[in-house]
Amino acid sequence: MNHIDWTDEQMELRDNIRRFMSKHVTPLIQEYELKRTFPYQIMPMLGELGYLGGTLPESQGGHGIDYVTWAMMMEELGYHWLSMRTMVNITNGSINRLANYGSEEQKAKYLEPIMRGELKVCTGLTEPNTGSNIAGIQTKAELQGDEWVINGRKLWITNGYEADVAMIVARTYSPTCEGRLSTFIVEREKAQYEVRKLDTMVLRCTGTAELGFSDVRIPKENLVGEEGKALASTLKGLDAARVNIAMGAVGAAQSALDLATEYAKQREQFGRKIASFQLIQKHIVDMTVRVEAARALGLRAAHALQADKDVRQACSIAKLYATEAAHEVANMALQVHGGLGYSEEYPIERIFRDTRGGIIPEGTTEIQTLIVGREILGVSAIA
């Protein structure tokens, strides 16, 4: 971020974040990567830095952070640990939904503890047969008396393994709703739904899980917002989520570039530093170009969100380019490291895996391409 004209307040926040990461996060990463779990004890501290509910206005209990500053904050998370950025992003998705659509009782019972980092939460969208096509969700919620009865399965649910509360999107059936999507709060301890942990090659500390619901009963008042409105509210939140993931990817790419640059300056082969080799310099230059371009596109999208103008195209372009570029940068950085790049003792191995993890969530590269194509041409390629 050397060429961005940040304000003094933004620079101070960035410096505070970096000191926090250096003291409280970096020393934990290797330990928790090996355990494949997340250090939830840092969540309250992340909340104090503004990472939980940060973009919400102060009137809703947030910090009133603008989207450009938020983008910078996401880059810092990605620079240090993509698993942490992912957990923050997932948590904020539920925070924003509850803040904007939840009842006062739901806010007091769930939102406030989540924003304090005391309650772990996940969002149940993806299913075994439903990924990019949210409208294809098959999990059902049927109103029976004063209870909703939920049946179905959710797959690839981030933080699903540890979450105390799940925000489940389901096809809704009641006297006033026939098959449209709604969001429901499901408490794990009370509902006793099935949880199966899924180990993946990417983002190993984010507790990915499959959730199973078989006649799971929840109180009628656990409906979030109006019946049948979840599809619109979910799609509305995707633009900001795409900027979050794009800027996290920028941070990871910058970290990979910094590691490769430092390694090239130190490593000797054939009697000289490998930084003097033409092909190593080509890698470093290519990496730098991709990082700078991805950051520019991410910040452009953040400005679009702030201005509420040309949002969809800008956010999809940023997500498409930044996530692909980050993995390309990590691949080149690993190449610069040679055989050491394969070792779990060096962070580049983790960054290489985790940058691959950003290419699919929040809409795959292919979906982003179709969205941008539709915005440019005015014709949808999606049936």
Alpha carbons 366 and 382: distance in angstroms, whole number: 11
CA distances (Å), 299 to each of 34, 69, 95, 319, 369, in order? 34, 9, 23, 11, 19
Write out the two tokens for 254. 């910058």
Q: Give yes or no for a contact between 333 and 260, defined as CB atoms under 8 angstroms apart.
A: yes
The alpha helices in the chain, defined as continuous H runs, are: 8-20, 29-35, 43-48, 67-80, 82-101, 104-106, 112-115, 188-191, 230-266, 278-307, 311-337, 347-356, 365-377
The token duo for 163 is: 């979450």
| Active site residue ranges | 362
Query: Which tokens belong to 175?
Result: 């006297």
Strands 165-174 and 140-144: parallel
- Which single residue is written with the structure tokens 């772990």? 120
